[in-house]
Each structure stands twice: as structure tokens, then as C-alpha cells.
Amino acid sequence: MKKKDPKEKIIDLLQGNLTPEEAREVISGLEKDGIDAGELESLRRISHLIESVNPGEPSSDMDRRFYEMLANEENEALAAEKSLIGKRWFQASSFNVGVRIAAGIALFLLGWFTASWSGQKSNTDREMADVSNKLTDLKQTLVLTMMQQNSSLERIKAVNMLNEFDSADERIIGSLLGALNHDENDNVRLLSLEALIRYSSNPAVREGLVTSIANQSSPMIQLRLAEVMVALNERKAAPEFQKVLMNSGLNYSVRNKIKEAVTVLL
Amino acid sequence: MIKKLIISKFLLLMIAIPVLCQGEQLIINLSPSLKNRIFIFENQKGSIRVIGYDGEDIVVNATPRFRETEKSGSDGMRRIEQNPFNIYAETDGSTIGLYSRAIGKTLDFDIKIPRNFSLKLKSLDNGNIQITNINGEIEVENANGDISLENISGSSVLSTVYGKISAVFREVKPDSPMMFTSFEGNITLEFPPAINAILKMKSGTGEIHTDFDLVPVMRQPVVKNVENTKIYTLEDWVAGKINAGGPEIIIKSYNGNITIRKKQVIK
């Protein structure tokens, strides 16, 4: 049997396709490369989640965004092609097919030698780091996709998955703020708020929380925002809360809480 | 008057039924090729009652809550009904949407639906939402009324502001989180004794009661940044594991009590 490369083996391990001996071997290999059991378990859970997630029906919004992205890519590709026009002579004429193939082979051999010369040991390390980075990236993309699902349950799952991340990148923060301001389901909004509180040391998050005050109509969220703003001592929130207080239909408990918050923050 | 509506594959259908002030029935004949089996309905004003049954049609009954009286005035003039209500259904091949147009009227809906169905229901005003005998995902928002679920197998996301929530689960879908929130009302939930879950609960001014054995879960610290100093505090939820632990069930009220019961097993 052909010996599998380490990357393939890791995927087999995550899917549980290896015999116990093989699994132990791969795990010990991974530990040598600095990936511990906890991290491995988290990868396994993610790979399981990826398989179990129901792709669902893409919303028209997703469609639109996909085509926008596609159009952007096409434009970029076109632009790149234009810049290459000077080199067209290479394809256009004088060189025949044989020469081009020879050039291709020469390039391949050059690559081969460079690769073997640059050393074997660091290769696996790099692959490991690659796999790990790609999985984190995949996880984030998965969360972002799940945040677009029609089912509130899927969106709640997505927000819950964020608890596994140590930090969140701009896309995740943006998506959470989007949910806090525009999600049709109040529970998803509330949960997004709870998730954002974890990242409140990020100035963009704090600013987003302050601007979201005006967008909330659910008493549960208004009250929680008042608590959070007081805990963070976010003075910029006071004028926003004063605007909310002008709404005569405001819930009694919320009104009291917001008045308290304004007194503290002013 | 009964109208039949047959929904075939990938066909967009709209059936509008002009109605007088009496109740109206709409029968939606489901095609077996319907993909997701999700039923979506938003009632502007009024109650929704959904009962799962063993048939294959969705039977919708809509009744105006208040009868219009047709009394003649002293000058011999009669009032003429000018805004009869419409109900119609639409499908895109994967979900069924029910729509009603009933300007200002309170309409109460009684819906019989095949047992294995997911529901996404919303009432904006003047009604309660009651769901019985369903296997599926249930999403309900009813800001001004009660939500009650009975004999449910699956998972649900419920929210209300001024209403009570009560939900009795025969079975829960493993690996699926759930969430229940009511600002002013009590939340009462019953789960099978063998459920594996992590409960995260919080009531602002109310109390929390349960007969499950909760094993406290290590709470995650929350970072609070005050005047450039980071302060770590614990998240202010009560969190506890039931049995082996599992997906999170989040329950939050502000002025209401929370009660989590073991569902009595009938021997």
C-alpha cells in the first residue's frame, strides 16, 4: 500500500477511519509537532460539525453576495490579464508547443530541486501549521455561513460556536453586530449581544454596541445594554439612552434601569 | 365554503379566498416532493393554535374573533362590509408560507398539520400561540401573548415580552441548542428525565426552581474593560449540567420565575 502523507492521515484520524495503532502513531506525531490532545479534540468536533451541518437553502441575499464576489473576481482577473498583455508575445507566436512544454518541465524540475534543497524536517511543521490555520479559517467561514441561515436555531448554534474561539476577526465581529441590529429573531439578537460582550475590549465592538442602542425594541435587549454600558463605563452611551427615554411606550422596568444608567454615565 | 389547494413541485401558488364575515377553511394538499417541511405564518392580530396529526394535508381554519353586527341605523342605512379578509398559501418547493390579509381584524387560526413539520410562527398582537403534537424545530415569537407547547419532540426557540411560556417536551433533539425568553412572564419547561444538556438560566427579579440534579458548570470569565484596566468577572448566568451535559438550553426572564421540571413518565 502506498504510504499516505501526514495531511491525509490527519483527515483520516478526524473522520475516525484509522486503526487504533495508526491513530496512536499519528497522535504521537502530532504531539511531537506541538499539537496537543485538546486542540485535536476541537479539530475533531469541527470536522464532525462540518459534516453534520445542514447546508439548507441559500437565501437570495447569499446568492447576491456570491455573484457580487464572482463579478469582483472576474474584474480583478481581467485587470490582471490586461497587465499581462505585454507578455502575450510568448503565447502568441514564435515559440512552438515543444518549446513551451520543455520550459514547463524545466520549471517543474527547478521547483522540485528547490523543495528538496530547502529541507525535509521543516516541511511537516509547516504542513501542521497550515492545517491548523486552515481549520481555524474554515471554522470562521462555517460560523459566518451559519449566521446567514434561515433557521434561528442554526444561527444560535453559530453564535454558540464562537465560544470556542479565543479571538474574533473583523468578519465575525461585523456579523455579530449585524445580527444584534437586524436579526429578525429577538433571541438571536440577545445571544449576539452576549457574545459581543466577550469582545468588549475591542473599540469597534464598543462603538457598535453604543450605536445599536437606538435599534433595539426588545425590553430584554434594552435592559441588558443598559447593564453592559454601566459595567463598561461607556459614557458615549448616555445620549443614546436619553433618546430611548423619550419613547413613551418604553417598558417600566427598562425605563428605571436606563434612568439609572444615564445617571451613572453622565 | 371549502377550497382545496394542491401544491405541486416547484410551483408558486397563490390562492386568495374572498370571505364574508364567517370563518374560512383552507386545505393545503402537500406534495410528497416538498423538501424541508417548514411551515411559516405570521398573524398580525389574533391567536394561532397548531395541532399535529397523522394526515398529509394542512387544514387551516380562520375565524374572526368579533362578529360584525349588521344593525340598521335609525335612518334606514345599513353598514356594508368592505374589507373581507383573505388567507392564502405560498410555496417555493421547500417551505409553505401562510398569509392573511385582515385589515384591523382579529383572526384566530386553528391549524391541523402533519406531525413531522417544523414551524416558524409569530403573532404580533392580541393572541396566544399554542402548539401540540409536533416533531420538529419550533420557532415562535409572540411579544404580547402566551406561548404554550405540548407533546413536542425536537427543539425550539421561543420568545415573548409580556406573555408566559410553557413547554412540555416528550423528546429533545440531541446536539441542538434551545432558547426561551420572556421579559415579564413565567417560564415553565418540562424535559424528559434522561435529557443531556447544559442549562444556562437567569432571572432578573424572579426565582428559579428545578427538580433536576444540576451539576454546576465552571463559568467562563467575562472581560470587562473599565478605564483601560481589564476586569475579569464571571458571567452572571446560573449554569448547570443535567446528566452527561450537552447542548446549551438558555432560559432568561426578567420579572418572571423559571421552573424546570422532569417530565413525568407514565407507566
Helix axes A203-212, A219-232, angle to 10 degrees: 140
Distance from CA of A53 to the nearest CA of B (A): 11
Task: Check CB contact under 8 Å for A151 and B137.
Answer: yes
Average pLDDT of every residue of chain B: 84
Of A151, A191, A232, the CB nearest to B225: A232
Task: Check CB contact under 8 Å for B252 and A190.
Answer: yes
Lowest mean pLDDT among A106-110, A203-207, B176-180: A106-110
CB contact set of A153 (below 8 Å; sequence gap of 6+) = B137, B139, B155, B157, B176, B177, B178
Residues of chain B neighbouring A52 (CB-CB closer than 8 A): 175
Q: Where are chain A's structural domains?
A: 1-51, 138-189, 200-266
Residues of chain A neighbouring B94 (CB-CB closer than 8 A): 57
Distance of CA B43 to the CA centre of its chain: 11
Of B36, B183, B248, the CB nearest to A219: B183
Lowest mean pLDDT among A13-17, B33-37, B126-130, B224-228: B224-228
Task: Output A264 or A29, whichever has higher pLDDT.
Answer: A264
Q: What is the predicted ipTM? A: 0.84
Element spanning B59, H or E: strand B57-64
Distance from CA of A97 to the nearest CA of B (A): 50
**Which of the listed ranges A9-18, A37-46, B85-94 does the model predict with the highest average pLDDT?**
B85-94
Task: Check CB contact under 8 Å for B223 and A201.
Answer: yes
Task: Check CB contact under 8 Å for A200 and B248.
Answer: no
Distance CA B262, CA B192 (A): 6
Position B225 scores a pLDDT of: 56
Do B191 and B243 touch, CB atoms closer than 8 A? no
Q: Is A185 on the interface with B (CB under 8 A)?
A: yes
Confidence of residue B13 (pLDDT cuts 50, 70, 90): very low
Residues of chain A neighbouring B225 (CB-CB closer than 8 A): 200-201, 232
Task: Output B195 or B235, whichever has higher pLDDT.
Answer: B195
Q: Where are chain B's structural domains?
A: 1-66+85-145
Q: Is A49 on the interface with B (CB under 8 A)?
A: no
Distance from CA of A252 to the nearest CA of B (A): 11
Mutate to test the interface with A, among B38, B183, B203 (most CBs of A within 10 A): B183
